[in-house]
């Protein structure tokens, strides 16, 4: 099976990115042909700083590797280094109905968040994402819940293209984690944990023990004292239970029993200890990799070459089907 996924180099990775997406990627790389991409072109649809973008890209690569991606087992590369992404984006623009883009939840949310910066890129974002996926004849796209709609649009575009020009693209499917697909902010448990949201509500994958402690201990909980999983009535504690369960591999039901009479304080303390322990290897690996910049850059260069070979072969077919010259 061919697997493709991407992440924007817009800031430090958090445990939502890990539990919702990267954890699956690490498992998938053992059995499948995996292609993972740092989608720097997607980072340009929201405000960015040209001075720090390259540093962010490299840090995202280090973060991926630190979290467990193995360059021997998967292709890791930077989107803008494979020009076919932009090229296919333009071609697919002419297949994708604009109405579909205007109803995308992420577009609506980000246009509210960045009122003064509603550009074409923000609207066209899902078509570039479709190009990313379709270039590699992808079967499965492991992403968090928030990206499901975009993968469905990719299927629609693939179907339309195949219907109009003949079988060209594999129709991909989203792969959503059963649990952890939507980790919420520790400060606003009704909003998803996000790199660009409230930093206090976001636990970084490489946070230092002291920061983890501060953030967990000040996480918003709900009225009452019982530690019970009920996302509607107790969104704060339910989110913490999900995080605990996923990192400890103990089912939520058992955690409810274990902490039945212990109160929020003891539960948060145990969660702090668990997170410090589980995130330690990531912190260590990242620190080592930060000292080996050339090594990381070389992985990305090799990755771009391998990715480009696959992308070029798809583009050749696409152009021919559309009646464009070679
Ligand atoms: P931004 O704040 O810049 O939009 P983000 O934190 O939402 O960033 P992305 O880079 O857009 O992160 O997402 C990378 C991957 O992580 C995607 O597959 C996305 O679905 C997943 N993801 C992001 N946030 C969460 C979350 N809170 N819970 C589970 N998965 C998530
Ligand atoms: N839109 C995604 C990032 C992304 C992606 C992709 C994910 C860009 N291209 C292709 C999967 C496949 C997001 O997480 N914000």
CB-facing half-sphere around the CA of 287: CA atoms within 13 A? 9
153 Cβ contact list (under 8 Å, min separation 6)? 96, 100, 101, 104, 126, 130
> Which protein residues are within 6 Å of ligand 2, measured from CB?
4-8, 39, 42, 129, 132-133, 141, 143, 147, 150
State pLDDT tens for residues 28-56.
999 999 999 999 999 999 889 999 999 99
Q: Are residues 177 and 139 in the same domain?
A: yes
**In this structure, is residue 228 part of a structural domain?**
yes
**In this structure, is residue 186 part of a structural domain?**
no
| pTM across the whole model | 0.89
> Which protein residues are within 6 Å of ligand 1, measured from CB?
7-8, 10, 16-17, 19-21, 143-144, 146-147, 181-183, 192-196
Q: Is 181 a residue whose pLDDT tops 90?
A: no
∠ CA 44-106-11, nearest 5°, is 45
Q: Are residues 162 and 63 in the same domain?
A: yes
> Given this model, what pLDDT does residue 261 score?
87
Q: Are residues 264 and 140 in the same domain?
A: no
Active-site residue, selected from the candidate residues 73, 160, 195, 317: 195
**In this structure, is residue 127 part of a structural domain?**
yes
State pLDDT tens for residues 73-100.
999 999 999 999 999 999 999 999 999 9
Instruction: Respond yes or no: is residue 225 known to be catalytic.
Output: no
Q: Are residues 146 and 255 in the same domain?
A: no
Tell me the best of 13, 18, 21 to mutate to test the pocket of ligand 1, counting ligand atoms within 8 Å of each CB and taking the most. 21
State pLDDT tens for residues 151-177.
999 999 999 999 999 999 999 999 998
Tokens representing 150?
């975009």
Q: Are residues 146 and 281 in the same domain?
A: no
**In this structure, is residue 193 part of a structural domain?**
no
**In this structure, is residue 271 part of a structural domain?**
yes
In the chain, the number of structural domains is 2
Q: Are residues 176 and 260 in the same domain?
A: no
> What's the domain range around 118?
2-181+292-322
Q: Are residues 267 and 296 in the same domain?
A: no
Instruction: Give the closest residue to 63 by CA, choosing from 272, 305, 214, 288.
Output: 288
Percent of the chain with pLDDT over 90: 88
Q: Are residues 140 and 31 in the same domain?
A: yes
Q: Are residues 45 and 154 in the same domain?
A: yes
């Amino acid at each position: 099976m061919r697997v493709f996924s991407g992440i924007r180099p817009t800031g430090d990775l958090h445990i939502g990115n890990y539990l919702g997406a990267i954890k699956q990627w690490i498992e998938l790389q053992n059995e499948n042909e995996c292609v993972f991409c740092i989608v720097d072109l997607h980072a340009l649809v929201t405000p960015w700083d040209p001075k720090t973008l390259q540093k962010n890209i490299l840090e995202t690569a280090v973060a991926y590797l630190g979290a467990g991606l193995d360059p021997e087992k998967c292709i890791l590369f930077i989107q803008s280094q494979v020009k076919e992404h932009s090229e296919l984006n333009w071609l697919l623009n002419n297949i994708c109905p604009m109405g579909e883009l205007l109803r995308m939840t992420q577009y609506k949310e980000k246009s509210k968040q960045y009122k003064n910066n509603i550009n074409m890129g923000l609207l066209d974002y899902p078509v570039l994402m479709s190009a990313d996926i379709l270039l590699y004849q992808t079967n499965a796209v492991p992403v968090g819940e928030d990206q499901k709609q975009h993968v469905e649009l990719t299927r629609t575009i693939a179907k339309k293209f195949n219907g109009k020009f003949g079988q060209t693209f594999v129709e991909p499917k989203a792969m959503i984690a059963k649990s952890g697909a939507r980790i919420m902010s520790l400060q606003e448990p009704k909003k998803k944990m996000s790199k660009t949201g409230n930093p206090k509500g976001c636990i970084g994958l490489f946070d230092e023990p002291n920061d983890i402690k501060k953030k967990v201990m000040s996480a918003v909980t709900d009225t009452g004292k019982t530690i019970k999983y009920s996302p509607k009535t107790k969104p704060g504690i339910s989110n913490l239970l999900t995080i605990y369960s996923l990192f400890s591999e103990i089912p939520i039901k058992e955690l409810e029993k274990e902490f039945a009479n212990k109160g929020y304080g003891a539960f948060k303390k145990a969660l702090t200890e668990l997170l410090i322990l589980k995130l330690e290897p990531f912190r260590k690996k990242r620190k080592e990799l930060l000292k080996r910049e050339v090594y990381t850059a070389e992985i990305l260069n090799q990755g771009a070459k391998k990715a480009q070979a696959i992308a070029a072969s798809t583009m050749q077919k696409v152009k021919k089907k559309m009646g464009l010259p070679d």
